[in-house]
Amino acid sequence: MKRIITILLVSFSFLGNAQVADAPENIAPLLIGEKIPNVKLVGLNGKAEDTNSIFSKKTVVVVYRGGWCPYCNAQLSDMQAIESDIVGLGYQIVAISPDAPEFLKETEGKDKLAYKLFSDSEGQFSKAVGIAFSTPEKYGDMLGKYSGGKNTTWLPVPTVYVVNENQEIEFLYINPDYSKRLKGDLLISVLKSL
Q: Is the pLDDT of residue 81 over 80?
A: yes
pLDDT at 2: 46
Of the CA atoms within 13 Å of residue 47, those in its CB half-sphere come to 4
**Region 151-176 average pLDDT:** 97
DSSP one-letter string for 61-128? EEE-S-TT-HHHHHHHHHHHHTHHHHHHTT-EEEEEES--HHHHHHHHHHHT--SEEEE-TT-HHHHH
Provide φ and ψ at 189, rounded to 5°. -60, -40
Q: Is the pLDDT of residue 15 over 90?
A: no
Whole-prediction pTM: 0.90
**Region 52-69 average pLDDT:** 97
Q: Is the pLDDT of residue 57 over 50?
A: yes
